[in-house]
A and B are shown apart, each in its own frame.
Chain A
Amino acid sequence: MSDADGALHAGYESLNRRRTALLALLALGILISLLLDLQAGPADLGLLDVLRGLLDPEHLDLRRQIILWQVRLPDALIALAVGAALGLAGVETQTILDNPLASPFTLGVSSAAVLGASVAIVLAPVLTPLPEAFTLPVLALAFALGSGVVILLVVRAGGAARETVVLFGIALVFLCNALTAALHYVADADSIQQIVFWTIGNLTRAGWTEVWIVSACLLLLLPFSLRDVWLLTLLRGGEAQARSLGVDVAALRTKVVLRSCLLAAFAVCFVGTIGFIGLVGPHIARLMLGEDHRFLVPGAALCGALLLSLASFLSKALLPGVIIPVGILTAVVGVPVMLGLLFQRRRIP
């Protein structure tokens, strides 16, 4: 009898140890990807220069110091922060809505950000005293947060039923897309091109301010996510079980949707819509780490960061001298991964 006892818990412990090791591996992967990302680019700045320049900036000449510290480092770090924010928001949204295809984007947050950005671009002549570098992210953020508020109101009014939230989110996506299309219709060719370019998603717009803002948002919200990991794990056993245990599922859903909307809004307002990170990052984490949210929540953030960092590296490394907008790469990588996951889901009854 005690043998069997031992076997059960040894199995559980080894599962936990393997997952801890996988988290460490992801962190290591991020470090490697960050260095790759930093050494890639049109300017001549190799891996050794990057390492030396990071430890001792004086080692590099001024031009390369500026390239490393003012161009490449903010771009590489915003990739990590945005990727982690989207991964975290995605995993929590999927669990709380019990829907593998849910993400803050299906809640309309990014469509609203696109609408906000479009308004900023089209109204630029009217808003002349303010620089577009300021109005664009601010309006994108305002619209994204606004859509978050609307979703939260629906969550509360509808008794937090998950179908209501998902359906309303999709309706919101269509509404924002329609309004953006209306703006396209009245905008001149130049503005349309700008809107399209913003929609693709691009990391090269970011500076240190943006890095700090997105990181602060992530670091402020992460502890709240980590505090709810047992509850989120419990929820994977089904809503009826959680309710019978006295878990206030409606209150938890409101909290999680609020967190996800905030994370997604701050993540996309500076870099544009980055497709699929919030959807695919959590799924890869689920496949690697299972459903125990003690590992899954940090794992999804790490997967999101790693994916976007790798995409950022590839965007500079694929075509020498050309920087492909990272949003294109994440979508091109994301679609096959998502299809693969969908087919795998179908095989499991």
Chain B
Amino acid sequence: MTRFGSPCLEVRGVSAAYGRRQVLFDIDLPRLEGGSVLGLLGPNASGKSTLMRCLSREMAAAGGSILLDGHEQRGIAHRQWHSRVASVPQSPPAPSALRPVELMWSTARALALPLSDAQLRERIDATFAALGLRELALAPLQTLSGGKRQLVGLALGLIRDPQLLLLDEPTSALDLHWRLAVLELVRKRVAEAGGIVVAALHDLDLAVRYCDLIALIEQGRLVGAGPPQEVLTPQVLARVYRVEAEIRSTPDGRLGIDVLRPLSDGAGLPHTR
């Protein structure tokens, strides 16, 4: 993790478009240092996945800049970028006859990770063990549930020991235990070792529990970014998510969000579109 020293990610004025349809407008994120976890929040179709795709370099931003350790994303060689940045897409590995362990080996070797066979074996073991996948490592992916396949997708991200880990809805198919366990693991593995995590999340409770910083976007525009208690207020939740919610402090000092009920379009603040 410390191969390149403590990393730093800066996102300034990023915009993006699909053809003529602009979907991201001038997004600024707080400067992220090694060890921090940023949760990207927003309703459906707010542009979270598009921003994740821009960060991972899968899609070129139409404007603005994304800097890793002060270097422009597009100035960093393709191979070097992907050796430092791991992105876990929203859709899990396809249900083919391929086995998780084969997917891990082919990923590591196709990316030319500088690991000996013995080192790679060790890392695959540790990753599968942490995600509870050891018993399923030799089972064809098509026999695994959606949740287990999502964990395999996560293992593909973790195997690379990334400086920047990008997770797009990493818990969408997981049960209650793994929702918490996965984010705990990510914090422990990546953040404690000095990496940066950016995770697009739907679950506000998970976000306030595991993220140091929150960025909330709505219809492609940044609503607010900063510590959870500053960004998430009942007014903001009513406007962006159209829910009535109460926000309180839990006994262990975290933020607790109680969502009471959905607001009808007329009851909330003016809703465009």
Contacts and interface: CB of A to CB of B under 8 A. Distances in A.
Interface of A: 1, 4-5, 8-9, 11-12, 15, 98, 230-231, 233-234, 236-238, 240-241, 243-247, 286, 290-293, 348-349
A247 B56 CA distance: 12
A234 B58 contact: no
Contacts of A5: 125
Nearest to B133: A8
Contacts of A15: 99, 138
Interface string B70-105: 000000001101100001111101111111011101
Interface residues of B, number: 40
B91 A238 contact: yes
B27 interface: no
B55 to A, nearest CB: 11
Interface stretch (B30-38, B107-115, B184-192, B242-250): B107-115
Contacts of A291: 96-99, 102
A245 B101 CA distance: 17
Contact of B138 (A8, A238, A293, A348): A8
Contacts, number: 104
A9 B124 CA distance: 10
Contacts of B22: none
Interface in B197-240: none
A246 B82 contact: yes
Contacts of B91: 238, 240-241
A348 B87 CA distance: 30
Contacts of A11: 101, 137-138
**7 nearest A-B pairs in the assembled complex, by CB-CB distance:** A238-B94, A246-B82, A233-B106, A230-B110, A237-B93, A291-B98, A236-B98
B97 A290 contact: yes
Most chain B Cβ neighbours within 10 Å, of A5, A236, A244, A246: A244
B142 A1 contact: no
A234 B99 CA distance: 11
A244 B58 contact: yes
B254 interface: no
Given A244-B88, A348-B142, A8 B134 contact: yes
Contacts of A245: 82, 87, 107, 110-111, 156
A141 to B, nearest CB: 34
B106 A12 contact: no
Given A245-B110, A291-B97, A291-B102, A237 B141 contact: yes
Contact of B98 (A4, A233, A349): A233
B159 to A, nearest CB: 11
A237 B57 contact: no
B103 A237 contact: yes
A292 B106 contact: yes
B129 interface: yes
Contacts of A292: 98, 102, 106
A234 B95 CA distance: 13
Contacts of B89: 240-241, 243-244
A11 to B, nearest CB: 5
A233 B58 CA distance: 20
